[in-house]
């Protein structure tokens, strides 16, 4: 008898507890955010928005995942992730198809293309002309090689004299110091800063300052098209919270970098604290650059790059006007 009473009491308590939960807490909408690579300072705003509860406040439960190699766009197109990180140049082949992959760039993480060519100081690769007769580590992406050829020819230099070797480098400054290569494409906010931090004397030139048509958007946040159509409000809520995360990272680089390191489940950043901090200081000033708001695309600049791709035979279709949208960003 006593046992039965205890059992009934216990059950009532459990039921009561459940009822209280269901009433008190709103159901969060699960969102999967797929990175383009291991966590780095490009992603800081997302980690901040998660750490400071901006997502939860917007009714979202955001999970950050890493893609299989080159797989972020596919994960997003397949609906395995609602959002993913990629770049305007690398999604071009995904859009240049009879049945384009169903993704749209909905926010620019950085306003400008901050990539360029890093080389050892003293080798004279301070401009595209300097690459003549030097060894360049390439990913063998047609767009990559065409951009270098274009910049060299602008200066009257001969691209065919460049010796190409495969790029399988992970630490570019160290590889330059060890003479594994003479020149390599880097994103300054990470590898350029790494050269500074590790004291490797380097030269650097970037594409955006040589040709405005090469000042495309990299990296960007992509969204799945079906998801955007089905649930635009959730997409907007996510981008609003993300914009808040980046706004915080712009104001407070050091605190934001700490949140990135703490949120990085791979643990790879903990060992590179100095680099993360220096990179964050550099990149925080460039998320929004001189624009009034974070994330917005300038259609002219987006289209300028895509028509450059088309003119140079890198896409079969003129992709101008496709692949991006400012509609899901918070109002200015």
Partner 1 sequence: MKRRSESIRDKLLPAGAFLLILGIWWVLSLTGWIPQYMLPSPVDVVKAFIADFPNLMSHAWVSVEEALIGLAIGTALAFALACGMDRFLNLEKAVLPLLVASQTIPTIAIAPLLVLWMGFGVAPKIALVVITTFFPIAVGLLDGFKSADADAVALLRSMGAKRGQIFRHVKFPAALPYFFSGLRISASYAVVGAVISEWLGGFEGLGVYMTRARKAYAFDKMFAVIFLVVIVSLVLMRLVTLLRTVSMPWMGKAKKEREA
Fill in the per-residue mask, 98 to 137: x = in contact with partner 1 (CB under 8 A), - = not in contact: -x-x------------------------------------
Phi-psi domain of 74 (left: phi exceeds 0; alpha: psi -120 through 50; beta: other): alpha
Structure tokens at 164: 């190409």
160 binds partner 1 (CB under 8 A): no
* 16 is a contact residue toward partner 1 (CB under 8 A): no
- Cβ within 8 Å of residue 324, ≥6 positions away: 88, 104, 105, 106, 217, 220, 297, 299, 302
Which residue stretch of 45-53, 165-173, 268-276, 294-302 sits at the interface with partner 1 (rule: CB under 8 A)? 165-173
Check if the beta carbon of residue 195 is closer than 8 Å to that of residue 172. Answer: yes
Q: Does 166 bind partner 1 (CB under 8 A)?
A: yes
Per the omega criterion (within 30 degrees of 0), is the bond before 246 cis?
no
Minimum distance of partner 1 from residue 209's CB (angstroms):
26
Q: Are 232 and 224 in contact (CB under 8 A)?
A: no
Which residues are CB-neighbours of 75 under 8 A, at least 6 positions away? 34, 65, 67, 68, 81, 84
Shortest Å distance, C-beta 117 to partner 1? 20
Q: How many Å from the N-terminal Cα to the C-terminal Cα in the chain?
A: 68
The verdict on 140 binding partner 1 (CB under 8 A) reads yes
* Of residues 103 and 278, the one with the C-beta less far from partner 1: 103
Residue 20's SS3 state is: helix
Number of residues that bind partner 1 (CB under 8 A): 20
Q: How near is the Cβ of 75 to partner 1 at its closest, in Å?
A: 11
Nearer of residues 19 and 79 to partner 1, judged by Cβ = 79
Q: Does 230 bind partner 1 (CB under 8 A)?
A: no
Among 70, 251, 271, 274, binds partner 1 (CB under 8 A): 70
Burial of 18 (0-12, 13-18, 19+ CB in 10 A): exposed
Contact call for residue 176 and partner 1 (CB under 8 A): no
Can you give the binding site for partner 1, defined by CB under 8 A? 69-70, 73-74, 77-78, 90, 93-94, 97, 99, 101, 139-141, 164-168
């Amino acid at each position: 008898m006593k046992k039965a009473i205890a059992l009934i009491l216990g059950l009532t308590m459990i039921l009561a507890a459940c009822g209280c939960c269901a009433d008190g807490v709103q159901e969060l909408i699960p969102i999967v955010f797929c990175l383009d690579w291991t966590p780095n300072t490009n992603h800081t705003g997302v980690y901040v928005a998660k750490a400071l509860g901006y997502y939860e406040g917007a009714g979202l439960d955001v999970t950050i995942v890493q893609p299989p190699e080159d797989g972020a766009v596919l994960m997003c197109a397949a609906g395995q992730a609602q959002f993913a990180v990629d770049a305007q140049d690398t999604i071009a082949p995904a859009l240049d198809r009879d049945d384009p992959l169903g993704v749209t760039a909905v926010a620019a993480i950085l306003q400008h293309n901050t990539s360029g060519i890093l080389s050892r100081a003293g080798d004279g690769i301070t401009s595209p002309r300097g690459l003549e007769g030097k060894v360049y580590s390439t990913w063998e992406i047609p767009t990559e090689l065409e951009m270098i050829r274009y910049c060299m020819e602008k200066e009257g230099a001969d691209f065919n004299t460049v010796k190409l070797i495969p790029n399988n480098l992970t630490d570019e400054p160290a590889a330059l110091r060890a003479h594994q290569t003479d020149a390599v494409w880097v994103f300054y906010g990470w590898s350029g800063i790494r050269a500074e931090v590790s004291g490797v004397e380097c030269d650097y030139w970037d594409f955006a300052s040589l040709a405005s048509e090469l000042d495309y958007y990299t990296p960007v946040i992509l969204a799945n098209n079906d998801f955007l159509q089905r649930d635009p409000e959730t997409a907007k809520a996510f981008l609003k919270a993300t914009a808040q995360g980046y706004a915080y990272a712009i104001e407070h680089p050091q605190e934001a970098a700490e949140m990135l390191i703490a949120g990085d489940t791979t643990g790879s950043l903990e060992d590179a604290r100095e680099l993360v901090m220096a990179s964050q200081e550099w990149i925080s000033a460039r998320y929004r650059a001189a624009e009034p708001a974070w994330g917005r695309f300038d259609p002219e600049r987006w289209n300028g790059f895509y028509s450059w791709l088309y003119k140079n035979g890198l896409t079969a279709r003129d992709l101008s006007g496709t692949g991006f949208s400012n509609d899901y960003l918070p109002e200015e």
